[in-house]
Structure 1
Amino acid sequence: MTKLDETLSMLKALTDAKGIPGDEAEPREVMKTYIEPYCDEITYDNLGSLIAKKTGSQDGPKIMMAGHLDEVGFMVTRIDDKGFIRFQPVGGWWGQVLLAQRVTVMTDKGNITGIVGSKPPHILSPEARKKPFPLKDMYIDIGATDREEAMEFGVEPGNSIVPYSEFTVMSNPKMLLAKAFDNRIGCAIVIDAFRQLKDGKHPNTVYGVGTVQEEVGLRGAKTASHLIEPDIAFAIDTGIPGDTPGVTDRDALSSLGKGPQIILYDARTLAHRGLRKYVLEVANKNKIPYQLDTTAGGGTDAGTIHISHEGVPSLSITMATRYLHTHASMIHRDDYENTVKLVVEIIKGLDEKKVKEIIKP
């Protein structure tokens, strides 16, 4: 494996951590470890979202940056007589990406390796081979001989189940592969932005948030934003690229390596026009590449932040990420570096005057 530098080591630690919605303790602890040296204090909302605060050079507006800690996964619902695990998806899954994939079942006695069972093609009829297998009929094999043995291993209803995939630097070292880039990459960008702002001046108070339960309804973003009461907010997340076979420019416009995505609208948020104008001005002024895009389905934490309290001008800044909501996704390191740079420059310019200008109808 390629020797990991500081950024790659952080990305590995964040993506290797296991944390489905409602069970984000591992990635939250990793984020805390990395961001704590660069903030003034860390607090939490009552659902478990991490909130890092950094006070700037003056008592200016409150700026919220949110990356969500949780990843899509599954939950044990029951164990059958033969020791096979039945499960419930937690977050959005397309059933065709699951068969024969390795998973980790998290128990109080330790982690257990399992695999989503599949039939060999030898016993499938020609008709059966053409049909997608229903997710509701899938099971996980942990090698137990019966229910009692599975329970002895520590398996019980409610256990988290996490996709298994090792962090990998590809042959092209700018291409990175891992589980949970959605959205540990957003958490990493928040951490790196805090790192770069540590000794620099910014005329505001910045809140870097690792939200919980984004994949099941943007829940942690709602509670965290009510606690912070931000003046301006950014959801830092992953986005869909259109640069793979079978995806057309009607589905997605962006490509890996061409810069962060500025999301004009998605299913939960219309980008605030004043904030969008400001962000594009910052990107152009600093010659940071970017891509304008839209997402007809799905949404980011901005979906609940922007309608909290009296309303919070919000915008989603995302990174094009291949193979979202599967066991492994792929990003381009240049996009990561440029997204961090853009976020830092945005924050540096958000003084009280600029925020009033943005908010003004």
Structure 2
Amino acid sequence: MDEQLTLLKKMTDTNAPAGFELPMTNLMKDLFDGLNIESIRDNTGSIFGVRKADSKHSIMLLGHLDEIGFMVTEITKQGFIKFTNLGYWSPIVMTSQKVTIHTKDRDIRGVIGGKPPHVLSAEDRNKVSLDNMFIDIGTASYEETIASGIKVGDCITPYSEFEVMENPKYLLAKAFDNRFGCALAYEVAKNVTNPKINLYSGAVTQEETMSRGSKTAANLVKPSLAIAMDVCFCSLTPGMENEGNAKMGEGPVIVLSDAWNIAHVCFKQYIMDVAKDQGINIQFDHLTGGYTDAGHVAQSNTGVPAVTIAVPTRYIHSNVSMMHREDYANAVKLMTAVVEGLDDTVVEQITSQTY
């Protein structure tokens, strides 16, 4: 497995749902230490590798550390575990899936259970509700489950192994939403050794729970420009043809708008110009029912020109997701060139909307 695949495997194998991001914060810190660069973090765990320049301006590149997951809310008399969401899940994709419960001292495997279809009424077969689900760790009583070390408040993550698919350009893992952005932030910090403006490249907490970490991180960094790096839908699978324009394998995506942000016109144009100069094919899409961290950063301080760069990803917000390796590689190339091309003059043209 080459260096890039090893990085993606390490990040997606790390378990860090919203509100419980410390394992990813620590991993990013270790990676930045390996580059011998300074890192800064806020009090929620958001972290950025810093490369300083002789400039009054800075760019903030932010993935998000968290993945969707669950949290233990109750242990029944029979030893089953009730839970709530950390981030949005469709109940349709949850039943019979393996999960990992993270206790203070160890990880415990479980499976999300529910009634078998044989005992469901015709009406109930078409209903899937979180309230009726539970996690089974293979114990026979409340006392046995408690003895395992599980307690109310423990976090839970999907269990899925990193795999290279039949076509080796296709990668399968949990949490590409958004370990893609975390890996991208690290690779840009690695590639851009002498930026002409200050570079803050990293990832924030709690994006999956209303993008909370981006608020505190923006107050910490106070950037002149910002790029959120996240995933978007892939329209190539059956039934998704009318759900967007982005297709896996056809390049990174500029998200034109989402529920909280409209891509800054001049900054968007600058990124498009860089992509053209670099010969990188880019796609365009919009999110009608979702958001990225760009929205809160754009509204921070006195306002920050912000854009989201994404890659099309299949099966997001489920136990597994699939990403195209060339989309990731071209996102690294694009983001590296975007940062390298920024200087004070270009930043001021963008912020004054004269670019």
Residue type at the aligned position of 1:83: G
CA deviations on 1:30-86 (whole Å, 9 max, x unpaired) are 222223233531121011111211113x32511100000000000000101000000
Partners in 2 of 1:306 and 1:121 — Cα distance? 47
- Aligned residue for 2:348, secondary structure, equals helix
Residue type at the aligned position of 2:142: R
Gaps of 5+ in 2: none
Q: For the Cα contact (< 8 Å) 2:251–2:282, is it kept in 1?
A: yes
1:142-161 to 2 correspondences below 5 Å: 142-161=137-156
Aligned residue in 1 for 2:179 = 184
Q: For the Cα contact (< 8 Å) 1:39–1:54, is it kept in 2?
A: no
Report sequence identity in percent. 41
Q: For the Cα contact (< 8 Å) 2:49–2:189, is it kept in 1?
A: no
Aligned residue in 2 for 1:70 = 66
Aligned residue in 2 for 1:42 = 39
CA deviations on 1:144-197 (whole Å, 9 max, x unpaired) are 211111111111110001000000010110000000100011000011111111
Aligned residue in 2 for 1:307 = 299
Residue from 31, 51, 54 that aligns with 2:51 = 54
Runs of 4 or more above 4 Å deviation: none
Gaps of 5+ in 1: none
- Aligned residue for 1:14, secondary structure, equals helix
- Aligned residue for 1:182, secondary structure, equals helix
Residue from 15, 19, 22 that aligns with 2:12 = 15
Q: For the Cα contact (< 8 Å) 1:99–1:117, is it kept in 2?
A: yes
Residue type at the aligned position of 1:136: D
Aligned residue in 2 for 1:79 = 75
- Aligned residue for 1:215, secondary structure, equals coil
Residue from 136, 140, 144 that aligns with 2:131 = 136
Compute the displacement of 1:331 (Å). Answer: 0.3
Aligned residue in 2 for 1:196 = 191
Partners in 1 of 2:227 and 2:183 — Cα distance? 14
Partners in 2 of 1:194 and 1:327 — Cα distance? 29
Compute the displacement of 1:125 (Å). Answer: 3.5
CA deviations on 1:303-340 (whole Å, 9 max, x unpaired) are 11000000000000001110010000000000000000
Partners in 2 of 1:123 and 1:217 — Cα distance? 38
* Structure 2 residue 234 is matched with structure 1 residue 241: yes
1:95-244 to 2 correspondences below 5 Å: 95-129=91-125, 131-198=126-193, 201-244=194-237
Q: For the Cα contact (< 8 Å) 1:259–1:289, is it kept in 2?
A: yes
Q: How many residues align?
A: 353
Compute the displacement of 1:202 (Å). Answer: 2.0
Q: For the Cα contact (< 8 Å) 1:109–1:153, is it kept in 2?
A: no
TM-score (norm 2): 0.97
Aligned residue in 2 for 1:284 = 276
- Aligned residue for 1:87, secondary structure, equals strand
Q: For the Cα contact (< 8 Å) 2:246–2:312, is it kept in 1?
A: yes
